[in-house]
Amino acid sequence: MNRRENIRNIAIIAHVDHGKTTLVDQLLRQSGIFRSNEHVEERAMDSNDLERERGITILAKNTAVQYKDVKINILDTPGHADFGGEVERIMKMVDGVLLVVDAYEGCMPQTRFVLKKALEQNLTPIVVVNKIDREFARPEEVVDEVLELFIELDANDDQLEFPVIYASAINGTASTTPDKQGENMQPLFDAIVEHIPAPVDNRNEPLQFQVALLDYNEYVGRIGIGRIFRGSMKVGQQVALMKLDGTVKSFRVTKMFGFFGLKRVEIEEAYAGDLVAVSGMEDINVGETVCPIDHQEALPPLRIDEPTLQMTFLVNNSPFAGREGKYVTARKIEERLMEQLQTDVSLRVESTDSPDAWIVSGRGELHLSILIENMRREGYELQVSKPEVIIKEIDGVKCEPVERVQIDIPEEHTGAVIESLGSRKGEMLDMINNGNGQVRLIFMVPARGLIGYTTEFMTLTKGYGILNHTFDSYQPMQPGRVGGRRQGVLVSMETGTATPYGIGQVEDRGTIFVEPGTEIYEGMIVGEHTRENDLAVNITKVKHATNVRSATKDQTTVLKKPRILSLEEALEYLNEDEYCEVTPESIRLRKKILNKNEREKLERKKKYSDTRS
């Protein structure tokens, strides 16, 4: 069997923040792809602003480096489970993976998640123990942990013989032993060329190209990125696109791009084993096969992760609507959601009875909050409802998504965390005491029990805890209420500007969310109540001046620092009767019904109908 020895296709997989994007940077730098005077950003592969700020990879990226006479195609994958759909499809495009593991943290939930996907595809692994220069690095134990994980995930004998490279991506060095680092990344390059199989060369057979990722460009429309599994493809060639619904469309390949460094390079022809981007088809989708018109043979479709969480997106109708955003109409919001569907295959958008509302389903809170954050940065104004898990009926039984949760905490917080997850219907699977004052807990928790849990967890562990979770499976639904917010809120009964005097008057009733000088409207949530019921307050009050000199005149009011919620915190905080209003400049929480009397009327009606039933 002939192989294309001058090509290797690999994916880099790892848990969030174990350094895979930094590793790709070094491979790019050391392969001499950049000119010596060319300025290269840190984490060059993270092109999106949000990726840079959060230090996470959201979209899969491809690049290629040249080492000696071998072209190495590298796919950098997201490590976060919300973007697992991307990871799974990338595994189909490559022949091997670099599994990057932190030399101190070892195997984490997403390490397990991404490795499982790679082993299922029968890919050849190379293990890279990264951050070898970290204090308390424990490379030998980490390699043992990785081996245990391979065995647990039913790796075959060949996969268990994985080579190990010890690296410090930040310093750009690697070696085959943990004690001494080499001068550069050469040991890693050599391991890739030696261990990762070269693609089979069957360019003389009929073409098969499968789309694994989508891109969109205003000039050429949709671009399908994928691998040629068989045959060859030329610009100008007439081909058949085998759609997922069984129909076949013919089209002409108008442009084709290969990858080199961070650039896309136009090419005329590509062969089996090449990763290419193709334009010329308007409605190409992930998993569809391109083949010759006279030899139509589709590859098996790719499995796309189903959404597990949904929320309603609405046109902003608050009293401050239209003040800060550029795009505020239903038409604009719908166009933007449809555009997102062009490239995000794990997203679903459904219309509702109202022309101003859509149900948007995604893989998790992070997946949806990143879409919302991108929209607000682009100038959109909208409102969103509380995120809810998607309930499925499996064999006549109502089932809900359950997450596998891994927690690393200082020993003294163990009791509090176990108790808090127990109240959210969590089931403890394992408890490992590392002996250094740190405990690792493994739980299975219904996904709805984790909505809004992060804030409580951070308070319980005084900020020292690390919480990671990945979707595990759908299981029969637990009865009763799981998780959710216990506290009521402080709701403004006036429209105006928050004053230090007004805030000072209600400070002892709870935690305030706004600063003095913030514009407030009736029905807006301005804080959290210390009790379980909602309380209407007026924080726009002004102190009336009198002509009597006050004995305490010179004392200024000292207010507690308000708790300003980020977008994720605000989404987690919501209750069923509330919306989060998102504009380019503000994030506000509000009641769905702004007027206090109308809210109370509805509450009374609800109580009455509950007692009747």
- Dihedrals phi, psi of 303, to nearest 5 degrees: -85, 130
Q: Which of 388, 418, 452 is the last residue of a domain?
A: 388
Q: Which of 388, 415, 442 is the last residue of a domain?
A: 388
User: Is residue 450 one of the residues assigned to a domain?
Assistant: yes
Q: Domains in the chain: how many in total? A: 5
Segment 364-423, tens digit of pLDDT: 777 788 889 889 888 999 999 998 888 988 888 999 988 888 888 888 889 999 998 888
Quick one: average pLDDT of 471-494? 83
Question: Which pairing describes strands 388-389 and 348-351: parallel, antiparallel, or unpaired?
Answer: unpaired
Question: Over 60: is that where the pLDDT of 425 sits?
Answer: yes
Q: How many CB atoms lie within 10 A of CB 527?
A: 25
Structure tokens at 409: 């905490």
Question: Over 80: is that where the pLDDT of 227 sits?
Answer: yes
Q: Which of 372, 388, 404 is the last residue of a domain?
A: 388
- 575: containing domain: 489-545+557-612
Quick one: average pLDDT of 115-144? 82
For residues 312 and 606, which has the higher predicted lDDT (pLDDT)? Answer: 312
Quick one: average pLDDT of 543-570? 73
Tell me the CA distances in angstroms from 509 to 439, 452, 500, 563, 570, one per residue in order.
Answer: 36, 22, 15, 14, 20
- Model confidence at 52, pLDDT cuts 50, 70, 90, reads very low
Query: Domain holding 281: CATH number?
Result: 2.40.30.10
Question: Which pairing describes strands 388-389 and 392-394: parallel, antiparallel, or unpaired?
Answer: unpaired
- Residue 502 and residue 471 share a domain: no
> Is 316 one of the annotated binding-site residues?
no
Query: Domain holding 361: CATH number?
Result: 3.30.70.870
- Residue 335 and residue 396 share a domain: no
From the list 73, 84, 140, 91, the residue with the least C-alpha distance to 109 is 84
Q: What is the pLDDT of residue 490?
A: 93
- Residue 383 and residue 444 share a domain: no
Q: What is the pLDDT of residue 552?
A: 53
User: Is residue 304 one of the residues assigned to a domain?
Assistant: no
- Dihedrals phi, psi of 84, to nearest 5 degrees: -65, -25
Tell me the CA distances in angstroms from 399 to 324, 392, 395, 481, one per residue in order.
Answer: 41, 5, 10, 15
- Residue 424 and residue 468 share a domain: yes
User: Is residue 527 one of the residues assigned to a domain?
Assistant: yes
Highest mean pLDDT among 237-246, 320-329, 340-349: 320-329
- Residue 403 and residue 462 share a domain: yes
- Residue 330 and residue 233 share a domain: no
Average per-residue pLDDT in the chain? Answer: 81
- Residue 28 and residue 152 share a domain: yes
For residues 215 and 161, which has the higher predicted lDDT (pLDDT)? Answer: 161
User: Is residue 168 one of the residues assigned to a domain?
Assistant: yes
- Residue 170 and residue 45 share a domain: yes
Question: Over 50: is that where the pLDDT of 519 sits?
Answer: yes
Query: Domain holding 457: CATH number?
Result: 3.30.70.240
- Residue 115 and residue 247 share a domain: no
Segment 67-123, tens digit of pLDDT: 888 888 888 776 555 555 667 778 888 888 888 888 877 777 667 777 887 888 888
Quick one: average pLDDT of 326-341? 90
Q: What is the pLDDT of residue 237?
A: 84
Question: Over 90: is that where the pLDDT of 522 sits?
Answer: yes
> Is 133 one of the annotated binding-site residues?
yes
In the chain, what percentage of residues exceed pLDDT 70?
87
User: Is residue 296 one of the residues assigned to a domain?
Assistant: no
Q: What is the pLDDT of residue 328?
A: 92
> Is 82 one of the annotated binding-site residues?
no
Question: Over 50: is that where the pLDDT of 554 sits?
Answer: no
Q: What is the pLDDT of residue 57?
A: 37
User: Is residue 552 one of the residues assigned to a domain?
Assistant: no
> Is 116 one of the annotated binding-site residues?
no
> Is 17 one of the annotated binding-site residues?
yes
> Is 21 one of the annotated binding-site residues?
yes
Segment 236-289, tens digit of pLDDT: 888 888 887 778 888 888 888 888 776 678 888 888 888 888 887 777 777 788
- Residue 398 and residue 384 share a domain: no
What does 597-612 look like in DSSP terms, one character per residue? HHHHHHHHHHHHHHHH
Q: Which has the minimum average pLDDT: 140-154, 387-401, 589-603? A: 140-154
Residue reference for tokens 């929209």 = 375
66, with CB counted inside 10 A (0-12, 13-18, 19+), is middle
Query: Domain holding 35: CATH number?
Result: 3.40.50.300
Q: What is the pLDDT of residue 42?
A: 42
Quick one: average pLDDT of 477-500? 85
- Model confidence at 537, pLDDT cuts 50, 70, 90, reads very high
- Model confidence at 137, pLDDT cuts 50, 70, 90, reads confident
For residues 152 and 594, which has the higher predicted lDDT (pLDDT)? Answer: 594
How big is the chain by its Cα radius of gyration, in Å?
Answer: 27
Measure the CA–CA gap between 218 and 48, rounded to whole angstroms: 17
User: Is residue 251 one of the residues assigned to a domain?
Assistant: yes
- Residue 381 and residue 322 share a domain: yes
User: Is residue 375 one of the residues assigned to a domain?
Assistant: yes
- Residue 503 and residue 591 share a domain: yes
Tell me the CA distances in angstroms from 62 to 12, 130, 215, 226, 414, one per residue in order.
Answer: 10, 21, 12, 10, 42
Quick one: average pLDDT of 131-151? 82
